[in-house]
Structure 1
């Protein structure tokens, strides 16, 4: 992949793994809506990005580092990358509001960042970390084969969805939807079920089919002879 315009936003992987419809609303339909949680997350990232660069002993930190992987077709920005001596070995750290989650969307986003860094620095990265704002702690993430495979599958699924231009239908899940900033644009509770008018129309079509007499197979045979 040679054209940077064809590179997908790295953040789309996290959106897609959390909810494919949310990903399409953002990256296909170009819609966005904030709530208290997204504002809190943005402020957390802003505070990290404001730091620039510094060094503590054998570790140099770079904030808001541009990332790119031509193999995966991804581009984005890492919140923080630690460069460890000797050899300036990169170690990605992604900042998230809240606490660790049951799904792997955050881990996939971190893994995608690491895979970009591997391509850029021509090195191998065994692990990275997720820093959660609620408990103010790092969670070390092993970048094993299973997580890498999930990351590549997600990148492929995002590309297929964006190139198709099709927004998936909603699937209402209370635990996800109640805190999603896109819930008013998505309307999952209303659109996940056919409205009463659609139900009525379907019943009318079924009734018409039931009243339509079958074709006279005998006459058809006589005509053919």
Structure 2
């Protein structure tokens, strides 16, 4: 399988890896990857691969369908020569874009705290994101939500992770906030992302995405449009101010 280095260190911007193979579509499969693969509402990372004087621009990273080894593939931005199988490459992230995803993703976890309703969908992009809530009526005071969200950010909570077994997750269904997307199980363990610590934990939920280390790193945010999406659904947009 492709080892997900970003799970060990989401701040890793560059790393070496060995090319394991190519997909029929022209993707590059590595043994170790700092690139997050599209999933859970978070887009795949972009960047470059370098080897033997060559550079390949990477548009995104995706999961390889049907791969029993759980590989991911780096998708070139345009048709180009690929690094040979067995060669060593240097991966370099588009860090500004990744870091923006990290800030937005953690902010969306906090949004699910200030709006404590079931989440029916979500999406992340550079500088903004949104969550869909099971919310029949629009919030009465959007500015109050905005203030509450930024107050949580400014409290500078630590963001950390832990792992539980599939059985432990099944025994604690309240951990799952998302109605439309269930955490991946079957591998034996599930990653939990915690905001706060044992003395002041404010959020704990399954998540495979990348996050900042402390909430203050998110910076100020603002809640944008709140749209009605069906009888029971409201879409809440969030934007980074900087």
Same fold by TM-score, threshold 0.5 exceeded?
Answer: no
Task: Name which one, 1 or 2, has greater alpha-carbon Rg.
Answer: 1
Greater share of helix residues, 1 or 2? Answer: 1
**TM-score calculated relative to the size of structure 2:** 0.23
